[in-house]
């Protein structure tokens, strides 16, 4: 390649108009889908504020906090290790995949934790459970400037953003998008490699429900 050809090549990109608007909204693909189901965001927020007065987020990882919404049948306490389950990740330049943490029997998490009973979250749980095989459900709070590991899970997830900001993004494989908190329900195919990051100035809070389908074996 000559110098002038290389300049021309770059010029063709420089002259493109840069879109700065669409990143402030949702853009789906086959791995991140906005479902038809929708809830009342004001009721969700009000209910969460009430619950936060009586329940504490537990730190699941650095800058990443969780309140368990479901528990195993007849168990009185939720175990800390249940906040994180089996995931697969590539840790170094060998690009080899390794399994981390324990497999969780998602289907056994079929009871609502007491503090959520009688709240709008119970309505959401009932509506979700009537439609999909719901396993662990957690309220996940991500601090400002925090990011999850790059990993894949045994099962896909449902996300309902509760509090967010334009810098809170979800990435699955090569696709990245912001998920506005307007009561929308999103299917995220976390059987693909993914991470959630909060590059914004405020914490981000999502309801995350595991879909208890049998483990996906690639």
Q: Which of 47, 119, 146, 190 binds Fe ion (CB under 5 A)?
A: 190
Residue nearest to Fe ion (CB): 153
> Are the beta carbons of 192 and 166 closer than 8 angstroms?
no
Helix segments in the chain, DSSP class H: 3-14, 41-52, 120-131
Structure tokens that stand for 104 in this block: 């969780």
Give the footprint of Fe ion on residues 68-107 (CB under 5 A). Answer: none
Rounded Cα distance, 144 and 200, in Å: 6
Cβ burial of 53 (10 Å; 0-12, 13-18, 19+) is: exposed
- Smallest gap from Cβ 125 to Fe ion, in A, equals 20
- Smallest gap from Cβ 101 to Fe ion, in A, equals 11
Rounded Cα distance, 67 and 35, in Å: 24
- Smallest gap from Cβ 153 to Fe ion, in A, equals 4
- Smallest gap from Cβ 189 to Fe ion, in A, equals 11
The stretch near Fe ion (CB under 5 A) out of 11-19, 161-169, 171-179, 188-196 is: 188-196
Cβ-based nearer residue to Fe ion, 141 or 153: 153
The size of the interface with Fe ion (CB under 5 A), counted in residues, is 2
- Smallest gap from Cβ 195 to Fe ion, in A, equals 8
Give the footprint of Fe ion on residues 14-53 (CB under 5 A). Answer: none
> Are the beta carbons of 138 and 208 closer than 8 angstroms?
yes
Q: What is the dihedral of CA 101, 195, 165, 174, to 10 degrees?
A: -170
Cβ-based nearer residue to Fe ion, 47 or 190: 190
Cβ-based nearer residue to Fe ion, 54 or 218: 218
- Smallest gap from Cβ 197 to Fe ion, in A, equals 12
**What is the chain's length?**
218
Q: 64: Cβ–Cβ under 8 A, 6 or more apart, which residues?
A: 140, 141, 142, 143, 146, 148
Give the footprint of Fe ion on residues 136-165 (CB under 5 A). Answer: 153
Q: Binding residues for Fe ion, per CB under 5 A?
A: 153, 190
């Amino acid at each position: 390649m000559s110098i002038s050809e290389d300049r021309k090549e770059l010029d063709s990109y420089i002259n493109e108009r840069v879109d700065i608007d669409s990143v402030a909204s949702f853009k789906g693909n086959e791995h991140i889908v906005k479902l038809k189901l929708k809830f009342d965001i004001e009721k969700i927020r009000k209910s969460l504020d009430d619950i936060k007065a009586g329940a504490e987020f537990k730190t699941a990882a650095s800058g990443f906090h969780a309140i368990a919404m479901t528990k195993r049948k007849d168990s009185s306490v939720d175990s800390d290790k249940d906040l994180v389950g089996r995931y697969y990740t590539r840790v170094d330049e060998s690009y080899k995949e390794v399994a981390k943490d324990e497999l969780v029997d998602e289907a056994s998490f079929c009871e609502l934790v007491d503090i959520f009973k009688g709240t709008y979250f119970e309505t959401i749980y009932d509506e979700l459970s009537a439609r999909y095989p719901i396993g662990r459900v957690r309220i996940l709070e991500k601090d400002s400037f925090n990011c999850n590991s790059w990993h894949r899970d045994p099962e896909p997830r449902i996300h309902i953003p509760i509090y967010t900001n334009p810098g809170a993004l979800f990435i699955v494989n090569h696709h990245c998008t912001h998920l506005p908190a307007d009561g929308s329900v999103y299917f995220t195919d976390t059987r693909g490699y993914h991470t959630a990051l909060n590059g914004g100035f405020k914490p981000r809070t999502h309801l995350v429900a595991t879909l208890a389908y049998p483990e996906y074996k690639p």
